């Protein structure tokens, strides 16, 4: 596949920075990045445009001449439902319209594993991802949708959240923690995104993708507690429905002060794992193992950190 200009949204976020660090310059010599925060830009030769998805006038000119778009930007937690919808659904709609106007050919959309789950009250992120997926599929672009599981890595929001949960004096436990999760290391997922840029993934497909090991959420939290604190998990069983309803109400009143987000609890009910597929089967043996992930978290920060936070 010949190299061409690439347009990336969410470039200053965790996944965006991971992708940029793995993307060979020879594959994409010109990269245009859309970011709300230029101060958190990745350490790579790329051109940055400051703006939001909804304001296409800010980036339409940068989008012209780009053959390929990688759409990572999203609101994923700790945001009000209307904000999630505005960014994840309306922002994607505006971006797709801009792609059509700019003559973009290929489009990669980063969704999430929970988009495959049944509809749940308070799970605004999963619903917004499903709605955005529908917009992508209805477009005339050569699209691919990726649904990753829990993306782990240095400075990973998911890694920080799970570690805080596992090392708490008491860890709330819903639905016995039996739902399966399948953590994947950020570099392994970024490698898959690079393979898409190379043209190695089938267009117009939805691909679920996780790490090499699936295990119950309670077991993952226990292993984190043992690695970090050398003790077992201290569980506090709680009823799922009433607690989620209370958190949903609290989040509407004081989002930043609520102890947890209601949508986070759906991880306990549905987990986060992926269906097996030939691409995963071919790559799983070379992926970072769960034991290696836990060891890296305990040993300290990334020896080659990204800039920004």
DSSP 3-state assignment of 150? coil
Model pLDDT for residues 246-289, shown as the tens digit of each residue: 455 444 433 443 434 555 677 888 899 999 999 999 999 999 99
Share of the chain above pLDDT 90, in %: 67
More confident residue, 36 or 306: 36
What residues contact 84, with CB distance under 8 A and at least 6 apart? 75, 124, 125, 128
267 in Cβ contact with 217 (< 8 Å): yes
User: Checking DSSP bridges between strand 180-181 and strand 66-71, what pairing results, if any?
Assistant: unpaired
- Position 174 scores a pLDDT of 85
226 in Cβ contact with 298 (< 8 Å): no
Model pLDDT for residues 41-87, shown as the tens digit of each residue: 555 668 999 999 999 999 999 999 899 999 999 988 667 889 999 99
> For the domain 5-153+184-211+273-287, what is the CATH code?
3.40.50.720
Model pLDDT for residues 196-222, shown as the tens digit of each residue: 999 999 999 999 999 999 999 999 999
């Amino acid at each position: 596949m010949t190299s061409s200009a690439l347009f990336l949204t969410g470039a200053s976020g965790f996944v965006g920075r991971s992708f940029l660090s793995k993307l060979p310059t020879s594959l994409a010599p010109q990269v245009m990045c859309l970011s709300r925060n230029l101060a958190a830009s990745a350490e790579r030769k790329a051109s940055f445009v400051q703006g939001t998805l909804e304001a296409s006038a800010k980036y339409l000119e940068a989008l012209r001449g780009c053959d390929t778009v990688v759409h990572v930007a999203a609101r994923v937690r700790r945001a009000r439902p209307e904000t999630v919808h505005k960014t994840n659904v309306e922002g994607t709609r505006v971006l797709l319209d801009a792609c059509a106007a700019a003559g973009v050919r290929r489009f990669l959309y980063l969704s999430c594993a929970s988009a495959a789950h049944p509809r749940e009250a308070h799970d605004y992120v999963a619903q917004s991802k499903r709605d955005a997926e529908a917009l992508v599929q209805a477009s005339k672009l050569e699209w691919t949708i990726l649904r990753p599981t829990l993306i782990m890595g240095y400075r990973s929001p998911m890694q920080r959240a799970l570690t805080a949960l596992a090392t708490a004096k008491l860890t709330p436990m819903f639905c016995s923690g039996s739902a399966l999760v399948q953590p994947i290391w950020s570099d392994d997922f970024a490698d898959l995104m690079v393979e898409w840029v190379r043209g190695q993934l089938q267009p117009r497909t939805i691909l679920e993708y996780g790490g090499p090991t699936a295990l119950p959420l309670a077991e993952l939290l226990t292993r984190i507690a043992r690695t970090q604190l050398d003790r077992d998990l201290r569980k506090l069983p709680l009823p799922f429905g009433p607690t989620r309803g209370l958190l949903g109400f609290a989040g509407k009143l004081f989002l930043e002060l609520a102890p947890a987000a209601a949508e986070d609890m759906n991880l306990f009910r549905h987990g986060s794992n992926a269906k097996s597929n030939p691409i995963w089967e071919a790559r799983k043996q070379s992926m970072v193992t769960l034991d290696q992930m836990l060891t890296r978290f305990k040993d300290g920060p990334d020896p080659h950190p990204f800039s920004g936070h």
